[in-house]
Structure 1
Amino acid sequence: MSEHLYIVAYDISCPKRWRRVFKLMKGYGEWLQLSVFQCRLSRQRHAELVALLDGIIHHEHDHVVTMEVGLADKISPKVTSLGKDYEPVAREPVIV
């Protein structure tokens, strides 16, 4: 099963919904900044995440963007990081 690296960014207008999205995202990826995560996902897990986010957000007020960077094992993202060090998310076991 191949995994792809995704960057997920979101702008949620309601603090309650923002917290729900943040908690959900912690189960799918690694937190980078306030509303930005990097995720290493199979196509199935990506579709699952999108469906769950779709059920949480209000489409008139909120915005979620997922950007596919490429195959997680073959991509070496070129990132300029000021402050904290940046490390691409590593492959880890998924506990279901």
Structure 2
Amino acid sequence: MTTHSKRVWLVCYDIANDKRLRKVYKLCRGYGEHLQYSVFRCVLSDLRLAEMKARLLDVVDERQDQVMFAFLGTSDADRAWRIDTIGIPFDDPERVVRVV
């Protein structure tokens, strides 16, 4: 796998302050697909992952907040990741291009 290939990450966060929570949500929205409250699926190159983490470090309070990155596989794998649910079924979000 080269540094140019993309990897799929499940990004989950628990933020203690509402103002920081809104900032983290907006930041993550720019990097991935919002799956559930405080949960995003992000397909990122190593460079974009490092950029995202650096930007998050500027927002979170490392003594009170937590952001977790769970590696789900490479983006070129044939849907290597799988999401199972109990209750309401998972609806894979459509890809929408947003120009900001």
Pairwise TM-score range, normalised by the shorter structure: 0.7 to 0.9
Distance 2:47 2:39 in 1: 21
Aligned residues: 95
Name the structure 2 match of 1:77. Answer: 81
CA offset at residue 95 of structure 1?
A: 6.6
Q: Is the CA contact (8 Å cut-off) linking 2:8 and 2:72 kept in structure 1?
A: yes
Distance 1:8 1:42 in 2: 14
- CA deviation map 1:21-64 (0-9, x unaligned): 00000000000111010000000000000000011000110001
Q: Is the CA contact (8 Å cut-off) linking 1:3 and 1:40 kept in structure 2?
A: yes
CA offset at residue 11 of structure 1?
A: 0.4
Name the structure 1 match of 2:27. Answer: 24
- Over the aligned positions, Cα root-mean-square deviation in angstroms equals 2.3
Tell me whether 1:57 sits opposite 2:60 in the alignment.
yes
Q: Is the CA contact (8 Å cut-off) linking 2:7 and 2:71 kept in structure 1?
A: yes
SS in 2 for 1:69: strand
Q: Is the CA contact (8 Å cut-off) linking 1:38 and 1:89 kept in structure 2?
A: no
Gaps in structure 2 of 5+ consecutive residues: none
Structure 1 window deviating more from structure 2 (43-52 vs 63-72): it is 63-72
Name the structure 2 match of 1:66. Answer: 69
Q: What is the TM-score when the length of structure 2 is the normalising length?
A: 0.82
Return structure 1 stretches of 4+ with deviation > 6 angstroms: 92-96
